[in-house]
Every structure is written in C-alpha cells, then in structure tokens.
Amino acid sequence: MNKIPLQIMALVHNEAQPSSYLVILKEEDGERRLPVVIGSFEAHAIAAAAEGAKGPRPLTHDLFANMLRTFSIQIEEVIISDLRNSVFYAVLVCSMPEGGIFELDSRTSDALALAIRFGCPISTYSPIMEEAGIFWENPSEKGISGPQASSLSGHTEDELSQMLEEALEDEDYERAAAIRDELKQRKSN
C-alpha cells in the first residue's frame, strides 16, 4: 500500500464535541487534511510536547518515552494504519539496539503524542486518506483559529512571550499553542 507522509498542522478545540479536540494532519505533498478526534488529556500531551514543556512530574506519554529510551528502543515511525467505524488505529514502528524492528498497536492520539517526543515521521495509507481526508478550505490558514487566536493580535511579542510562560505554568496547553502560533506567524511575516 502507498504511504502518505503527514505533518501535524494544528490542534483545535472540537466545537461539535465539547470535551474533545481535533488534531489536523496535513499531507506533505498535497492539500488534503486528516482530522483526528482526540480527548482533552491527549490534546494536552500533544501540546506540551510541541511546546517542549516540562512539568514537575512526567506525563504518561513522557514516562513511556523515557522507558523506551532507557532500553534504547526508538520509535522510528507512526503509521495511522486503519480506519474502522470512524475510529483511527495506529502502530508504532520501533527499533531495538540489536537491530530488530517491531510494531506496537496504539491509539492514534497516543501515537501522535509519542511521535512528537521522538521526532519521528507520521504517515497513513492511501485508502485511509481517500476515505477520511478532506480538502482544506483555506490552505494558507495555520494554527488555532477562533476567539482565542484573534484576541492575541493586540499584544506585543514580549507580552505574548510572558503569556506563553504563564500558560505553560498553568498547564493551559490549548492557550499556549494559540500563543505559540501567533508568535510563529509574526516571525514568518
């Protein structure tokens, strides 16, 4: 099967299901996006890893990553491998120090949180992208949108940096991601 490389494009609150979030994955060589519904705990784990935030104690995903690293096991790739009844399934492709490769079944949200921690590629198969992929209405739009993002435009970069530190200290990773995206957008302009 043909694999399609993906990148995490955005993490947004899912207004259709208030206690969940959407991770928007974009295909590297195309305009399609793959929206994956995840829970709030996993959203915070993904945002924390993306921000490089270190809490006073490791999150579950950090603990698992630390355990793998202790035994010199690397996650080489995350593959969103199946879609059944609107539920995505994933595998972690891992390598061992003596050269062996093995796969671990994973919830997609956990796999994405670990992919960020290991800096490994994310991919899916063509049939999954054909079934669940969408064409983005505005491909130039990036990051978190909505009232939280628009309320940041009136602040200076220094104020935003301070707000980012405070959001991370408060473990408000959704706000931290919005602030980070605003800072990135300003630096790219």
**Same domain flag for 134 and 157:** no
pTM value is 0.71
153 within 8 A of 161, measured Cβ to Cβ? no
68 within 8 A of 115, measured Cβ to Cβ? no
**Same domain flag for 130 and 176:** no
**Same domain flag for 112 and 182:** no
Which is nearest to 45 in space by CA: 64, 26, 68? Answer: 64
Which tens digits make up the pLDDT trace of 42-66?
888 888 888 887 778 888 889 999 9
Tokens of 139: 């491909």
| pLDDT for residue 145 | 37
**Same domain flag for 125 and 157:** no
| pLDDT for residue 149 | 39
Could you give the CA distance from residue 13 to residue 134 in angstroms, rounded to a whole number?
Answer: 18
| pLDDT for residue 47 | 87
**Same domain flag for 180 and 124:** no
| pLDDT for residue 144 | 36
| pLDDT for residue 140 | 43
**Same domain flag for 31 and 123:** yes
Could you give the CA distance from residue 13 to residue 65 in angstroms, rounded to a whole number?
Answer: 26
**Same domain flag for 121 and 56:** yes
Number of structural domains in the chain: 2
**Same domain flag for 132 and 41:** yes
Domain that holds residue 170: 145-189
- For residue 76, the surrounding DSSP H or E stretch is strand 74-84
For the chain (189 residues), the mean pLDDT of every run of 10, in chain order, is 91 82 91 91 87 82 93 97 94 94 96 95 96 70 38 72 75 71 73
